[in-house]
A and B are shown apart, each in its own frame.
Chain A
Amino acid sequence: MNGSSRHDDGRLETVAVYALGALPEAEAREIAAHIAECPECAREYRALRAAANLVASGAETAEFAPNELQSQRMKNAIMREVRASLQPASAKPEAGALPVAPRVPWLAYLAAAACLAVAFLSTSQLGAVRAQHERDVAQVAQLRAQLDRQQRTEAILAEALQPAAARFPVGLGLVARSNGRIILAMQHMPAPPKGKVYQAWTLRRGAKSVAPSITFTPDASGDLVVELPGSAADLAAVAVSVEPEGGSTVPTSKPLFVRPLS
């Protein structure tokens, strides 16, 4: 334990501010390193962070509540997406798609086959069949979640590739501006080092410094399609750098690229 990691009660107030998430970047990094080596401060951090996490519940008040119309509008939009995600791909044919063999309703066949099989099984065998069925259901749920993510990615990618979109190549892919939004589409991106993420940065016209945007990591194959929050209006450039998990307020590493949007 070196001097900076020795416990000092004077640091506990800084630990509390860190637990709330209200320390500036440099101080946050310093106290995080100290907490990692000081059991007393780590205990204080865990206790106060758990309390700080619950502060969000204070936002559920009449002052900030949605009205009925908003609640219903959001619900309709969300449930429309949810139901669409449950439809088999064959129910949503795309114009110009090649004809394909009709999909076998395999879930129905699976259920029917399971029923027939169960009729011939003893009670002990029934347990094994049920366990297998539960594994199948879990696998189907996992595949559906994967399909949801894939469909979302494809929708964003389609947006980036539509004729009206402005596309700006970068080393591993492109930055696209479409319908007032910025989309990053990359391939073969290396996984960031442990404890690090990629972070996007935006530069508005006339601004002297970049503003932090979202953090992200590519999938296992190195592919990445991500939409930046906020409007693309007045953006002069987009950059990406490697940052500590949780992101930074200013870039702490040399950017992978800085792409002017012109």
Chain B
Amino acid sequence: MARVRDRDPAAFESLYDGFHRLVYGIAQRMLADPTAAEDLTQAVFLKVWANPDAFRGGNFGAWIARVARNRALDVLRARSARPEAEIPADLGTDHDLDDAVLSKIEGERVRAALTALPEEQRMPIELGFFAGVTHEEIARRTGTPLGTVKTRIRSGLRKLREALETSAA
């Protein structure tokens, strides 16, 4: 990123090569529209180029993923004909929440840890994260009691964190 801040196009190209699949993957998964996913990917990378100082250190992959997700949520919000309680309010980028333990985790390990979660825990987490829907909507879609959805989300996130902490150790 230091070279990108120095306006080095070759460094930026390397950054694109390394992370565009992640950004596009998030956009495509959330928007289910290849054209919109391409537009979003371009917008995210051009934002990074225009304002590299927005990245304040930590895990670049996690950071750019949050940028991509928030942008995709903006698109979902704009698309939504039913704004009432459909999209969660907490869309902050939380730069300060990159904690030291998880900041070095690579995408491959995260995917492995996610895959290892029981389906009943992984599904509500992925629905909440990628579909931008509330726990009530998750309960409705999966036909699961609300309290059970909340319990599974918490158990899944705790298990994910423990697995990642173990793999980082």
Whether B78 pairs with A64 at a CB distance below 8 angstroms is no
Whether A70 pairs with B34 at a CB distance below 8 angstroms is yes
Complex: A230 Cα to B78 Cα, angstroms: 6
Complex: A211 Cα to B77 Cα, angstroms: 7
Whether A54 pairs with B89 at a CB distance below 8 angstroms is no
Whether A209 pairs with B84 at a CB distance below 8 angstroms is yes
Whether A50 pairs with B49 at a CB distance below 8 angstroms is no
Among residues of B, the one whose C-beta sits closest to the C-beta of A28 is B89
Among residues of A, the one whose C-beta sits closest to the C-beta of B22 is A60
Residues of A close to B107: CB separation below 8 A = 57, 60
A207 contacts B by Cβ under 8 Å: yes
Whether B53 pairs with A55 at a CB distance below 8 angstroms is no
Residues of B close to A28: CB separation below 8 A = 88-90
Known contacts A48-B157, A51-B164, A56-B65; A25/B42 CB under 8 A? no
Complex: A14 Cα to B87 Cα, angstroms: 16
B83 contacts A by Cβ under 8 Å: yes
Shortest CB-to-CB span from B153 to chain A, Å, is 5
Known contacts A66-B20, A149-B50, A213-B74; A249/B129 CB under 8 A? no
Partner of B62, one of A53, A83, A137, A213: A53
Known contacts A46-B99, A64-B29, A229-B74; A24/B85 CB under 8 A? yes
As a 0/1 sequence over residues 47 to 71 of chain A, the CB contacts with chain B under 8 angstroms (1 = contact) are 1111111111111110011100011
B80 contacts A by Cβ under 8 Å: yes
Residues of A close to B158: CB separation below 8 A = 16, 47-48, 51
Whether A58 pairs with B111 at a CB distance below 8 angstroms is yes
A127 contacts B by Cβ under 8 Å: no
Whether B98 pairs with A50 at a CB distance below 8 angstroms is yes
Residues of A close to B86: CB separation below 8 A = 249
Give the contact-size bracket for chain A. Answer: 35 or more
As a 0/1 sequence over residues 127 to 141 of chain B, the CB contacts with chain A under 8 angstroms (1 = contact) are 111101111101000
Whether A211 pairs with B78 at a CB distance below 8 angstroms is yes
Residues of A close to B85: CB separation below 8 A = 24-25, 249
A242 contacts B by Cβ under 8 Å: no
Whether A247 pairs with B91 at a CB distance below 8 angstroms is yes
Whether B38 pairs with A70 at a CB distance below 8 angstroms is yes
Known contacts A74-B20, A211-B78; A53/B126 CB under 8 A? no
Residues of B close to A18: CB separation below 8 A = 90
A176 contacts B by Cβ under 8 Å: no
A-B contact count (CB 8 A): 264
Residue of A140, A204, A230 most packed against chain B (CB within 10 A)? A230
Known contacts A16-B153, A20-B153, A209-B84; A58/B126 CB under 8 A? yes
Shortest CB-to-CB span from B73 to chain A, Å, is 8
Whether B161 pairs with A50 at a CB distance below 8 angstroms is yes
A141 contacts B by Cβ under 8 Å: yes
Whether A79 pairs with B9 at a CB distance below 8 angstroms is yes
Residues of B close to A148: CB separation below 8 A = 49-51
Residue of B13, B45, B53, B135 most packed against chain A (CB within 10 A)? B135
As a 0/1 sequence over residues 202 to 238 of chain A, the CB contacts with chain B under 8 angstroms (1 = contact) are 1010010111111000000000000011100000000
Residues of chain A touching chain B, judged by Cβ–Cβ distance below 8 Å, are 12-25, 28-29, 32, 46-61, 64-66, 70-71, 73-75, 77-79, 81-83, 85-86, 137-138, 140-141, 144-145, 148-149, 152, 202, 204, 207, 209-214, 228-230, 244-250
7 tightest A-B CB contacts, nearest first = A56-B65, A22-B128, A16-B154, A59-B25, A230-B78, A57-B107, A57-B110
Residues of chain B touching chain A, judged by Cβ–Cβ distance below 8 Å, are 5-7, 9, 12-13, 16-17, 20-22, 24-26, 28-30, 34, 37-38, 41-42, 45-46, 49-53, 61-62, 65-66, 68-69, 71, 74-75, 77-81, 83-92, 94, 97-99, 101-102, 105, 107, 110-111, 114, 125-130, 132-136, 138, 147, 149-151, 153-154, 157-158, 160-161, 164
New A-B contacts (9) at CB < 8 Å, excluding given A16-B158, A54-B164, A56-B26: A17-B150, A22-B127, A53-B98, A57-B62, A70-B38, A79-B12, A79-B16, A81-B46, A149-B51
